[in-house]
Chains A and B, each alone.
Chain A
Amino acid sequence: MSPGLQLVFEAWPYLLAFVVGVLIPRRQGLYERIAVGVVAALSVLLVMGLWPSKEVVVDAPKPKEWPNLLNVIVFLPIFGSVSILFLPRQSPKLLRRFTLLVLGLDFLASLWLLGVPMTAGWHFQYIREWLPSFGIRYHVAVDGVSTWLILLSTFTTPIAAYVSFGSIKARTKDLCFSLLLLHGAMLGAFVSLDLFLFYVFWELMLVPMIILIGIWGGVEKIKAAYKFFLYTMAGSVLMLAAILYMVWTHKELAGFVTFDYLALKNLVLPKTAAMLCFGAFLLAFIIKVPMFPLHTWLPDAHVQAPTGGSIILAAVLLKLGTYGYIRFCMGMFAGPAWSAAANLAGLAVGGGVLYGALVAWKQDDVKRLVAYSSVAHMGFVMLGLFAATRAGVEGALLQMVNHGISTGALFLLVGVIYDRRHTREVREFGGLAKVMPIYAAVFVLVTMSSIGVPGTNGFVGEFMVIMGTFVSLPLGSHGQLQAVLATTGVILAAVYMLSLVQKMFFGPLSNPKNANLPDLNVRETLALAPLIALIFVLGFFPNVFLDRARDSVATVIEGYQEGRKAYMGMEPGAAAKLRPRKGGNLETGYPEPPKPGGDAAKKDPAPTAQLDPARPAGGAP
């Protein structure tokens, strides 16, 4: 057989898809047909590639990790935002193209993260001293948890930017600046392993987001901007207090100052202090998530923010709260987190899943409805995290990505209709399926994903979360009840989403203003296509995703259990202590104490005696 013929044999699925793609569309030109055919062939290629193969690769050589990759990913957008300041305000086209170019490059760079198998431990680690006298290092690394959030972020932000450029024409320079800075800060927060660095990026996100809400938002934009700012900042200042307390305690025990996560993780605080510190971190994170009863900023922020801002907010910003809970609360405060988990899970189910869904049902504003559905979905994520079983955490992780995709798509779709009608009231619409068939079809599809219909991504995540909750150890006997109630939440989600679809798209075309609405344009279709594709990819092949997260999730859970054991071993009234280091690849990059008499003595020629030698240096009680 000639090689050409063999190629035809082996490539028959692609060829078939191509032929079908070329033949099916009617009333189209040749180029469009060929384009559709190519898309069809590529889709088949993707599906074939994703199909789990039986072959097990043994002893594959470990791909080399380029240590600067994370620096590139984080600082590309930040430098991009600085360069924006020097580009002319008068040429919005240049600004837009530049922004998209930077975001696109960033996405390509982040794809590299998929090139290495995410085994347990830290990858792409990069450490540099920043402020040695303060024990602050520039320490970034990823594991299976953060990899996906980075990819989610680099994937959705370009889409959000692309959509924003379609609807926002005023003050493009400010828009590009905020988008890039926000992007860089979010990525930075996902990769930081130094608490100080994390805090810096965490706060850096605030300002661009306020600008996004406050400049291009709706009528009540300024109030929403204030609300967003004050809520988030209230959480973070207490977190800073807790960080400082932990750093101080660590210094008392180990004799050197460090803000490093790996070192502070080994700290076992006395019970009250641990509870307070956990509370401070938890507050910061559940405000960001947001969890009932601290969720009230979210609907306002969403409703007032422009479409692009909403997408970023829903898809990535909220994930910082859940990511923070996995990384910091479960990592550093396993004991208190474990004891509080059952109550918090009750809050997540009652206040998030159920209450959020019920409130969403009663909304007249489509965007507000989607915002409350966010509260419900994030309730699911938190439930999975509180359950802290493998299925629960993996499901929660998957659900974070799902929520980013489906809610991002929903906000995009709401933005489409808002751009055409400048209203989002449900009762203004009805029978839209007749004038905007493609729009209606896409909307229904995304709705399915949001509800969690089998075959879409939402199903896998919710199923795993509920499964994990059912058998969870920290939740104990409450877990089963909570799992059942969460299942009701899924039904409620179907109720509010489907009734929305019914009211908006079906029935008679009652409002004459809707009669001549144009369907999706090229820009909107292009922005939606990758989201739709991902809905199915993750729905059918969740293993692509879960394989890479598995080891890290196992590590997280293991650390959680060990931390809890250490915490339970503390006598009441005992002083803080340090757990022994375990070493291994989980602790690569552990901060070393400064060498005595080396650096410090040379740098500081002035006498640095104690104020009074009679007084003890620390004076811990």
Chain B
Amino acid sequence: MTFWFGLSPILVVGLGTLLLMLAEAFGKSPNSANPSDAGSGRSGELALGAAVVLLVGAAFSIGVWMVGPENLEGLEATRPYLVMDRFTVFFCFVLSLGGAFAALLAGGYLPEHDIDRSEFFPLLLLSTVGAMTLVAAGDMLSLFVALETMSLGVYCMVGLRRSPRAAEAALKYFLLGSFAAALLLFGAVLLYGATAHTDLVGIGQAIKTIGQPGSTVPVAPVLLGLTLTLVGLTFKISAVPFHMWTPDAYEGAPTPATSFMAVAVKAAAFAILLRVLVVAFGDDRLTSWGTGWPPALATLALLSMTVANVVAGRQSSVKRMLAYSSIAHAGYALVGVVATMRSADGQASVLFYLLTYTVSTVGAFGALIYCGSRGAEATSYEDLAGIAKRHPAAALAFSLFLLSLAGLPPTAGFFGKLYVFRAAFDAELYVLAVVGLLNSLVGAYYYLRVMVFMYMREPAPGAQPAVPMKSAFVSSALVLAAVLVFALGIAPGWSLDMAGAAKIVVSAK
């Protein structure tokens, strides 16, 4: 029984997916006799169903966390394919939360914009299951399978709208994503060839033997495998220079799908990146500045922060700006990943950062959705001009999330940044921390720009300003996110402790 309970965060969502699929296929459509359209017009109930499934998953994550996965008997049986530790449970919570937000947003967005296609919700759930499995993966094989499960659903969600733009976005994302997955697989193969292991722990132990007498592990394939694995994973977190697909895919996708990509896919990819780096490549020589991965990732972090922030400031579409901002945030989180090399707080800072990033980003995308309605979707800055006068609540919510993304106290984003940069100082990565802080200044500029348009400009005469929609789903998601943003900004103690307790511990042998 404890075994099933331990796996419950994933199993619940998986079962929920199957049930929701059946419900979607067999349910009666209110406005269509065509059986192939059975789902249309039912986004509301399906969104509610998906959100409930994901929130129950989140509740089970909390339950497992309370009991403590290390206290559950029999849970080792799934190792190394599924590693249910506190790290996994923490991310299961974050991912279900992000998925639930996306489901709620979709419940309002899809019917409003006439893309009322109910496949979205099973796809969303399936992707979330994939993401959770990815986080739990402790073996290159399960890692790859989970990665693809997660990605396939997202590819479909991106192309849901069926406009040329969406098709371009989906195709681009699919092709580049497959390419990155292939690189990852190639890396895994090389690692297997070198170490004769596919499980991360085994790879890590084999790498530790390099240089010892009697070791048969060659160095070159290990390094090449490390590089290719990193490339594959940093593609998923869309770090510069592997970010090219991000703006197009984010812009072409329906906004709820965008928020899911920005939040859940990214968080899951960060989680597995951390796990791979800490478990498989945690060897002293590989975590040192001279011979290991830190300088490579530090370069990626620097590039991601700087390039994305500079480019984001030049966008005319708010959605595209948010896409670039998500790249910049990947850069900040990467600073925390690099800090794991020397700081005990590095992992925890990334975990906490992703939590704060999740709530602020879904909030920002949700507010963007909320500001538009049928035929008048808010995308550009001009669409938002003067909205504070007509709809103060929408503007206030949007500002709150933007301030959190900009990292201003007393919001969640501030603590996230603070923790990451504190870890960077702990690890003596002064340059990285200072550049990151300066970058948050650049970032603040374009977040402020949205607020300037909302509060201080009037719509151009003759322009059609966006009209906020009325949807209980979207507003409830916004309220929930706003509460979390404040809660994490004013009293982050509990979540900081959680993030600290969730870090992966490699037992030294």
User: A–B direct touch, CB within 8 Å, in complex?
Assistant: yes
Q: Which residues of A contact B (CB under 8 A)?
A: 85, 89, 130-134, 171, 173-174, 199-200, 203-204, 206-207, 210-211, 214-215, 221-222, 225-226, 229-230, 233-234, 237-238, 240-241, 244-245, 247-248, 603-615, 617-621
- Assembled-state Cα–Cα distance A207/B408 (Å): 9
**Is the CB of B26 closer than 8 A to any CB of chain A?**
no
Pick the contact of A221 from B445, B456, B505 — CB < 8 Å? B456
Interface of B is mostly: helix
Contact B508 A222 (CB under 8 A): no
**Is the CB of B306 closer than 8 A to any CB of chain A?**
no
CB distance from A398 to the nearest CB of B (A): 32
Contact B421 A241 (CB under 8 A): yes
B422 proximity list for chain A (CB < 8 A): 244, 247-248
- Assembled-state Cα–Cα distance A173/B441 (Å): 29
Question: CB-nearest residue of chain A relative to B417?
Answer: A240
CB distance from B86 to the nearest CB of A (A): 5
B428 proximity list for chain A (CB < 8 A): 619-621
A134 proximity list for chain B (CB < 8 A): 496
Contact B438 A237 (CB under 8 A): yes
Contact A238 B434 (CB under 8 A): yes
Contact B497 A133 (CB under 8 A): yes
**Is the CB of B425 closer than 8 A to any CB of chain A?**
yes
Contact B497 A609 (CB under 8 A): no
A238 proximity list for chain B (CB < 8 A): 434, 437-438
B278 proximity list for chain A (CB < 8 A): 611
Q: A133-B497, A608-B505 are in contact. List 4 more A-B contacts (CB 8 A).
A: A89-B392, A244-B418, A245-B430, A604-B497
Pick the contact of B448 from A229, A241, A619 — CB < 8 Å? A229
**Is the CB of B233 closer than 8 A to any CB of chain A?**
no
Given A133-B493, A226-B445, decide whether A606 and B340 contact each other with a Cβ distance below 8 A. Answer: no
Interface of A is mostly: helix
- Assembled-state Cα–Cα distance A96/B388 (Å): 20
In the complex, chain B residues 102-155 whose Cβ is within 8 Å of any chain A Cβ: none
Central interface residue in A204, A206, A606, by most chain B CB within 10 Å? A606
B493 proximity list for chain A (CB < 8 A): 130-133
B506 proximity list for chain A (CB < 8 A): 611-612
- Assembled-state Cα–Cα distance A307/B63 (Å): 56
B186 proximity list for chain A (CB < 8 A): none
- Assembled-state Cα–Cα distance A608/B348 (Å): 11
Contact A225 B452 (CB under 8 A): yes
Contact B284 A614 (CB under 8 A): yes
Given A215-B456, A237-B440, A617-B344, decide whether A603 and B445 contact each other with a Cβ distance below 8 A. Answer: no
Contact A605 B344 (CB under 8 A): no
B452 proximity list for chain A (CB < 8 A): 214, 222, 225-226
B392 proximity list for chain A (CB < 8 A): 89, 173
Contact A214 B455 (CB under 8 A): yes
Contact B508 A244 (CB under 8 A): no
B426 proximity list for chain A (CB < 8 A): 248, 618
Contact A611 B456 (CB under 8 A): no
- Assembled-state Cα–Cα distance A207/B448 (Å): 9
B418 proximity list for chain A (CB < 8 A): 240, 244
Pick the contact of A234 from B441, B451, B507 — CB < 8 Å? B441
- Assembled-state Cα–Cα distance A132/B425 (Å): 19
Contact B340 A611 (CB under 8 A): yes
B433 proximity list for chain A (CB < 8 A): 241, 244
In the complex, chain B residues 326-348 whose Cβ is within 8 Å of any chain A Cβ: 340, 342, 344
CB distance from A424 to the nearest CB of B (A): 21
A210 proximity list for chain B (CB < 8 A): 448, 451
**Is the CB of B500 closer than 8 A to any CB of chain A?**
yes
Contact A240 B437 (CB under 8 A): yes
Enumerate 9 A-B pairs (CB-CB under 8 Å) in ascending A order: A204-B410, A237-B441, A238-B434, A245-B425, A605-B68, A606-B86, A608-B501, A609-B507, A612-B284
**Is the CB of B282 closer than 8 A to any CB of chain A?**
yes
CB distance from A180 to the nearest CB of B (A): 15
Contact A203 B455 (CB under 8 A): no
Contact B505 A248 (CB under 8 A): no
CB distance from A44 to the nearest CB of B (A): 48
- Assembled-state Cα–Cα distance A437/B445 (Å): 47
Given A238-B434, A614-B508, A619-B428, decide whether A608 and B500 contact each other with a Cβ distance below 8 A. Answer: yes
Contact A230 B455 (CB under 8 A): no
In the complex, chain B residues 79-94 whose Cβ is within 8 Å of any chain A Cβ: 86
Contact A204 B455 (CB under 8 A): no
- Assembled-state Cα–Cα distance A229/B505 (Å): 42
CB distance from A164 to the nearest CB of B (A): 17
Contact A203 B448 (CB under 8 A): no
CB distance from A286 to the nearest CB of B (A): 17
Question: CB-nearest residue of chain A relative to B434?
Answer: A241
